[in-house]
Amino acid sequence: MGSSVAASLDDDIKDLDVASFIESLIQEEASIQLRPETTKFLLFAHKYIRCREKMDAKYLEVDEFKQIAQLENVDVKLEITDEHQQLATSGDRPVETLDELYEAAVVVGPVYQDYIRNLVDQVCEACGDSVETVDVQFASLKGKERALAKAFDDYSNRTLPPGISWLYDIVRGSIKFVSADQVLKCLEILQNDPSIAIISAKNRFKNPTLTGYRDLNVHFRMTTEGGVSHICEIQIHHKAIKALCTELDSHSLYEYFRKYFAGATGKLKERLGDLKLVGGSEIMNSENLQDLLDETNEEYRLNRLATLFREYLCEFGVAFRVYCRLLHLQLEQYGEVHITVASTYYRMGRVLAEQGRLSEALKLYKVALRMFKEIHGKDHPTVPATFNDIGCVLWLQGELESAMELFEEAAKMFKNCRGMEHPYIVIAYSNMAMIHSSQGNYGESMRLYQQSLDMKRKTYGEEHSEVATAYSKFAQAYFDMGGLDKAMQLYEISLDIYKKTLGERHADVATTLYGMACVWKQKENWDNAMKLFQQSLEIFQNTRGADHEYVAILYRNMAEVLREQNYADAAEELEEKRMAISQKMKRESKVIAAPEFIGR
């Protein structure tokens, strides 16, 4: 086999009674208990699913043939040119201060309101409807404090400054129509009006929000007779959709998930789709989950359920119970030696490893490995993938030399399978680099990390969670060498990608925040270090639980920072919490720097 460690793996479990072993693991698990954060997420997810169904149904009711959604010439994307900036009252340059922006807004506001009222009159006349059927509302000028915050958060990095010149919602209003025909006619009039210039437009009837809410949002430049120009906003609603939105409080759902997933809307849709598939019409809680496991015989549904709880919600105990149910069904249907059975053992090993139950995880990985070899032969990619993940478990147990042998064997086998193009070879390289770095072999570590990063960027593109992981690992290597500024730079890149792809509350975000906090701690910037440690702690407590080893590590780091700031009592309180977790786990980890598993 080439590796003495790899060759010995089969012998270690040849006499293992797998069925009895699995049964003992199940008995160790008490009734299903979800963390409060998970329970809240599942409740909001249930409300979201119902809300989305009702909002979609309402749209079909008011626009049966989806005429608004099918419009192809509505969406106008903003171009970053000086023609699209807000102008000072003189009209010959972009605004430079908030006062200049509001000076123009005050002048244009009354003209805008007259224009919108006239627009509604034209729509109703064209459709043969009464003006009384339409609701028009004008908001007061956007508050200056909110405007400044939005300019900084959303537009401070624009290539054409200042950020305040890109604020289009200072002068704003809304129209609520009673029919799709009115909405269509309003848009037609706006698009054909030579007195205004549409700068940007968004058709959310075509691309609704996550909760199913729909409207048209148009920003257009209008100019007064005195030559003052300003870009204003108009929101065009359907009255029935707007009313249902208020009734269902869909905005609160939107705000919750927007905070939970940040910009990672694709990931949110995937998770909520999983919940809709597996949860049906019931709110998913601890009791319903138990009933679901007792009653469900669908492999696909159980796999999706396990993936949901394992990959994102980090409820590893729940995921393990789901896999146990899935394994029971598969053994009945396929027998003891089958690829789906082997894959489930493999995933169960991953879940146990995440829980810190390393010796149990190792046994299940070895069972899967033996089965993969029996089914596919020793040269199939499932074999090196399992070598890599067993190496990760050994690494976590402190057996670095054995782990390195398996990572090297995995990399060699992946290379033999498909050459350097195999997507998993980069994970083996990253794990090898981590061990080299821990042993002070920085030259070899940096070479492998760079190779891993380059290959991941080529395979996945620049904005992918795998690339974020590569940047984070690279940052850790620079930190180990004392390159604090470079480490911080790479951590920031990693954090930005993670937030975009996974959202702000994912465990990988917490790991990166922890790394950044360690940099600030090393620089003796205690305030910044404590701030990021606290952010990381909150996420880990919600995703890993209050008694996870990572929480203990954060308590120790935070206690050290507090001692540096002469807060001895507060530091001692955190140390007591750390010791309680370590005693419960019967081991103590020093850093949050996990190897990369292939089994996800």
Closest CA to 365 of 337, 340, 393: 393
β-strands 229-238, 172-177 pairing: parallel
Banded model confidence at residue 6, pLDDT cuts 50, 70, 90: confident
CA distance 544 to 507: 8
How do residues 313-342 score in pLDDT, each as one tens digit? 788 888 998 898 899 899 999 998 899 999
Closest CA to 253 of 238, 268, 239, 243: 268
How do residues 508-523 score in pLDDT, each as one tens digit? 999 999 999 999 999 9
Banded model confidence at residue 75, pLDDT cuts 50, 70, 90: confident
CA distance 433 to 477: 9
Banded model confidence at residue 589, pLDDT cuts 50, 70, 90: low
For residues 43-50, average pLDDT: 84
Banded model confidence at residue 131, pLDDT cuts 50, 70, 90: very high
Tokens at 62, concatenated: 């008011």
What pLDDT was estimated at residue 544? 80
What pLDDT was estimated at residue 178? 97
Residue with the bigger pLDDT between 46 and 107: it is: 107
Q: Is residue 135 over pLDDT 90?
A: yes
Closest CA to 589 of 348, 410, 396: 396
Residue 9 · residue 390 · CB < 8 Å: yes
Q: Is residue 285 over pLDDT 80?
A: no
Residue 509 · residue 499 · CB < 8 Å: yes
Please give the biggest Cα pair distance in the chain: 91
What pLDDT was estimated at residue 282? 65
Q: Is residue 29 over pLDDT 70?
A: no
Domains of the chain: 59-248 (3.30.460.10)
What pLDDT was estimated at residue 11? 67
How do residues 145-168 score in pLDDT, each as one tens digit? 999 999 988 898 888 999 999 999
Q: Is residue 114 over pLDDT 90?
A: yes
What pLDDT was estimated at residue 41? 81
- Write down the pTM of the prediction: 0.75
CA distance 319 to 35: 13
What pLDDT was estimated at residue 281? 60
For residues 96-109, average pLDDT: 96
pLDDT above 90 as % of the chain: 54
